[in-house]
Structure 1
């Protein structure tokens, strides 16, 4: 049976008791192996939502369940065995090689006094191979291009062997070729994925479901056709959105311009 059934029940967050909510109650469900895209304008609450899923910010109220287990009812180490994250901010490597970085993904699975063994090494090798990084495994992480670094961070997440993978703007600052590589990767991983994206057409192509946020409120949850409608996108982003059919593929594509 596939694992990675993610359920959020009325989760919300505010920095302190006397401060306003940055995310108001949101509920959604992602079935194993499916991709949920989180979209919305800047300041909509996307990063706040993702932080709660990868066990960085505890929900003020509500519950996040992975395969029926309360994510915030377990230790950070146990949560890291279930949920991995690939974030926009990449860590300083301090002279670490690609293999060293990927091996860090095994940390949650080791006890405090144990060192990595043959089993961990095999998993790291598999993650490196899956991301086609063998030729870079001994390279210093700091010498890599943006696209290569992103692939290393995904490999590190895969080495965690999570049930759920969170990706925060994985195509940000990448050129077109590397964007396409990351999108192809998302489709191929077979994990339950929650990914925030700025590009709505990209989200429509890659994601099985869309969660649309604005000002910390949920403005829609469902299929891309349902949520990324001309009216809802126009109202949420304060633009005029229109759907056009691409002549070759007949796929629909959103275009935007400022309202007159």
Structure 2
């Protein structure tokens, strides 16, 4: 499993020919193994962008390239070997065990109705071990806690052996401990990761680059220091943002107030 270079070129989307654009042309590049945080207010176009990157929603125009290969110029099964996704909500598992769920990650690598082979089993077990799920392999997925489910879905994505991993609000509905576990995981995977986050301080802490969206338009792309400026954040979220330096760590955090 190796990380891939991700390039998005003039990507836009609208639901129909005579409908307004929900995502206006956006372009950016992320080097292999780097983490991109996608942030913005509700309705900014974050999920729309992510759906196109994980090959669920076809762009109206523009390109998504993984190592210079056009993602939407390939079959869905081939694209699934390039990009995996971990989404906010997991569907019901209908009695499937944790191992069953993780094993689904091997589907794009199989031919027809072929069964799991020795190589598949080795990759599945490695993904389970990576996410420390050995004690849960026989458990029904539907009986797990939110944090446990999220770890299983990441293990499934790892079993898929993608070059790019898309994570849509991976800390949503999780308590602080599980949020910290997911953030630590993001840093350690070594994949190219595109992650949407509501918490700007969290995004600044974990991401190598930030893409800031508002009303389907790019407001900024670059380092957190450059993009998450007081003025740009205030304008984008319609709040008054202030940057504070914590004296012990010298880390910078944004605080927010409603404008008066």
1:129 aligns with 2:129: yes
CA RMSD of the aligned region, Å?
Answer: 0.9
CA contact (8 A) 1:3 1:67 kept: no
C-alpha distance in structure 1 between counterparts of 2:91 and 2:185, whole Å? 21
Tell me by how many angstroms 1:129 deviates: 0.3
What are the within-5 Å matches in structure 2 for residues 96-175 of structure 1?
Answer: 96-175=96-175
Specify the SS of the correspondent of 2:8: strand
Any stretches of 5+ residues in structure 1 without a counterpart? Answer: none
Partner of 1:4: 4
Match of 1:30 in 2: 30
Q: Could you tell me the TM-score, scaled by structure 1's length?
A: 0.99
Dislocated runs of 4+, deviation >6 Å: none
Q: Is the 8 A contact 1:83 1:162 kept in 2?
A: yes
Output the CA distance in 2 between the equivalents of 1:215 and 1:43.
6
Deviations 1:109-150 (A, max 9, x none): 001131111110110000000000001111110111000000
Contact map agreement 2:5 2:66 (CA 8 A) in 1: yes
Instruction: Describe the superposition over 1:37-63 as per-residue Cα deviations: whole angstroms up to 9, x where unpaired.
Output: 000000000000000000011110100
Kept after mapping to 1: 8 A contact 2:2/2:162: no
- 1:193 match: secondary structure: strand
| Kept in 2: contact 1:31–1:192 (CA 8 A) | yes
Shift of 1:248: 1.5
1:147-170, Cα deviation, whole Å (9 max, x unpaired): 000000000000000000000000
Distance 2:173 2:129 in 1: 24
Cα distance 1:243–1:192, how it changes in 2: closer, same or farther (>3 A)?
same
| TM-superposition CA deviations, 1:181-200 (whole Å, max 9, x none) | 00000000000000000000
SS at the partner of 1:100?
Answer: helix
CA contact (8 A) 2:23 2:48 kept: yes
The verdict on how the C-alpha distance between 1:192 and 1:226 changes in structure 2, with shifts beyond 3 A counting, is same
Where does the alignment leave 5 or more consecutive residues of structure 2 unmatched? none
Structure-2 residue corresponding to 1:89: 89
TM-score w.r.t. length of structure 2 = 0.99
Q: For the structure 1 residues 96 and 114, does the alpha-carbon distance in structure 2 shift closer, same or farther, using more than 3 Å as the test? A: same
Q: CA deviation at 1:2?
A: 5.4
Q: Secondary structure at the match of 1:186?
A: helix
Equivalent position SS for 2:129 = helix
